[in-house]
Amino acid sequence: MRSFIADLHIHIGRTYQNNPVKITASKEMRVKKILEYARYPKGIDIVGIIDCHSPEVIEELQLLLNAELLQELQGGGFRYHNGVTLIPGCEMEINDHRSSGPVHVLSYFPTLMSLKKFSKWYTTVVKNPHLSTQRINVDGITLQHKIKEYNGLFIPAHIFTPFKSLYGKGVKNSLTEMFSPDLIDAVELGLSANTKMAGQIGELQGFAFLSNSDAHSLGKMAREYTVFRLENASFEEIQKALSSSERRSIIGNYGLNPLLGKYYESTCKACGAIWRGGSCEKCGGQNWIKGVKTRISELKRVESTKLRPPYIHQIPLENIPGIGKKTRDKLLSAFKSEMNILHHVTEEQLRKVIPDILVHRIIQARNGKVELQAGGGGRYGKWIDRQ
């Protein structure tokens, strides 16, 4: 058994034929580039690319297999020639008669055959199967059963964000309003929540918590990730870890402090000021965007008693003041991966490469001793640099 770093929510911007998949994702986000960037500079072992349902992406996977750059694994998933494991998946949007608004969900499949079968069915229930995160014309439970028919995993995405999430717009009080709990394999926390926050909701006690980046650009990969204890990096091993079977497990969640997320605080819809109740203190507005902190306080009934792995707050290098591209390149040249720099390289080693003030900031971030301005209303939180 050993630990593996996994980021299971990464988008494709363009296919190998340069056609769009995720409209809002960078054009650099292509299958081969994602798999190469995952190894270096990021230092990720497993990536979940959640736009693999697209027919052109399936074509590319087949071409990579034919060229022996990709290998289908006996335990499910694919191994790229640099050692990174690809778990193929699909993100979808549900807005059925039982939901209050759209909900995003993730699914993952073990083999190219199961992915192809799902994709063929998927083309019958969406308008454009080539694009990412399409509105699907079935209800939640029907979708769950269909994913299980193809031996897939079903995971509600970024479950607390105000828009397009399970607890944001989807349900009023309980996930059972939309889904069968028995057919949920895990839930994704999202950037504005951590384990402590989600643990206040008793009905989540039975589910594993995943931290993923929802990356739309290469730099955002692994801004949040999950560390698994597995025998090897494969679909079946992750499946076992999600149910904590055969000594496989999640051993840590790494992610942004929720204050840095875009939807932590409730904010005025008109001016973006923090909402304190009643009319906006800044502009007098009456409409607001409900933040994750507020939504969790509404949902809290009986706290979960489940013991969970630690949630470690991290701040990506690109968000640390004073660390620009040249400094990042220097650090990566010396220490090989961003994950290594953020969590493992010693203070003494860092001092040999970069100025003391930047070393101090990296150690501050590592130890969680950073003053933050909370985000909300679609704006990320910020590091407050007093120096």
Give me the residues paired with residue 6 across strands: 46, 226
Question: 303 in a domain, yes or no?
Answer: no
Q: Name the domain count of the chain.
A: 2
**Are residue 210 and residue 341 in the same domain, yes or no?**
no
On whether both 325 and 254 belong to a single domain, the answer is no
Same domain flag for 56 and 149: yes
Residues 216 and 108 in one domain: yes
pLDDT in the model for residue 300: 79
pLDDT recorded at residue 80: 98
CA 208 – CA 84 distance, rounded (Å): 23
In sequence order, what are the beta bridge partners of 290? none
Q: Which amino acid type is present at position 135?
A: R
For tokens 């289908």, the residue is 72
Q: Based on the domain organization, do 115 and 239 belong to the same domain?
A: yes
Give the model's pLDDT for residue 302: 65
Strand partners, 134: 92
Distance, CA of 236 to CA of 108 (rounded, Å): 11
Beta strand 85-94 pairing with 78-80:
antiparallel
How does DSSP classify residue 58? H
**302 located within any domain:** no
| 64 & 199 share domain | yes
Q: How far is CA 289 from CA 120, 264, 265, 281, 374, in A?
A: 38, 10, 9, 15, 14
Considering the domain boundaries, does residue 321 fall inside one? yes
Tens digit of each residue's pLDDT, the chain (387 residues):
999 999 999 999 999 999 999 999 999 999 999 999 999 999 999 999 999 999 999 999 999 999 999 999 999 999 999 999 999 999 999 988 777 779 999 999 999 999 999 999 999 999 999 999 999 999 999 999 999 999 999 999 999 999 899 999 889 889 999 999 999 999 999 999 999 999 999 899 999 999 999 999 999 999 999 999 999 999 999 999 999 999 999 999 999 999 999 999 999 988 988 888 888 888 988 898 999 999 998 887 766 667 899 999 999 998 899 999 999 999 999 998 999 999 999 999 999 999 999 999 999 999 888 899 999 999 999 988 766
With contact defined as beta carbons under 8 Å apart, do 263 and 195 qualify?
Answer: no
DSSP type of residue 39: I
Q: In 3D, which of 40, 53, 30, 64 has the Cα closest to residue 123?
A: 53
Looking at the structure, do residues 332 and 208 belong to the same domain, yes or no? no
Is 229 within the bounds of a domain? yes
Q: What is the DSSP string of 109-155?
A: -SSHHHHHHHHHHHTTTSS-TTSSSEEESS-HHHHHHHHHHTT-EEE
Instruction: Let me know: does 50 contact 6? Beta carbons within 8 Å.
Output: no
> What are the start-end ranges of the H helices in 312-386?
325-335, 338-343, 347-351, 356-367
**CATH code at position 232:** 3.20.20.140
Q: How far apart are CA 2 and CA 245, in angstroms?
A: 15
**Same domain (yes/no): 238, 103:** yes
Rg of the chain over CA atoms, in angstroms?
21
Q: Which of 212, 238, 258 is the last residue of a domain?
A: 258
DSSP for 213-271, please give it.
--BSSGGGTTSSEEEEEESSSSHHHHHHHHTT-TT-EEEEEEE--GGGSTTSB-EETTT
Residue 278 exposed, middle or buried by CB count within 10 Å (0-12, 13-18, 19+)? exposed
- The phi, psi pair for 270, rounded to 5°, reads -80, -45
> 67-70 — which CB contacts under 8 Å span 24+ positions?
69/32
Q: State the Cα–Cα distance between residues 213 and 194, nearest whole angstrom.
A: 13
DSSP 294: H
Last residue of a domain, one of 216, 241, 258: 258
The pLDDT score that the predictor gives to residue 303 is 67
Q: Is residue 94 part of a domain?
A: yes
Per the document, the length of the chain is 387
Q: What is the pLDDT of residue 95?
A: 87
On whether residue 77 sits in a domain, the answer given is yes
Same domain flag for 159 and 232: yes
Neighbours of 100 (CB within 10 A): 13
pLDDT of residue 2: 96
On whether the CB atoms of residues 19 and 59 are closer than 8 A, the answer is no
Q: Does 266 reside within a domain?
A: no
**Domain containing residue 351:** 316-369
Cα(365)–Cα(355) distance, integer angstroms:
16
28, 217 contact by CB (below 8 A): yes
CA 228, distance to chain mean position in Å, is: 15
Same domain, 34 and 145: yes
Can you give the CATH number for the domain in which 363 is found? Answer: 1.10.150
Alpha carbons 36 and 42: distance in angstroms, whole number: 9
Domain boundary among 220, 242, 258: 258
Examine the domain organization and report whether 254 and 322 are in the same domain.
Answer: no
Q: Select from 92, 140, 90, 136 the least CA-distant residue to 116.
A: 90
Q: What is the pLDDT of residue 368?
A: 85
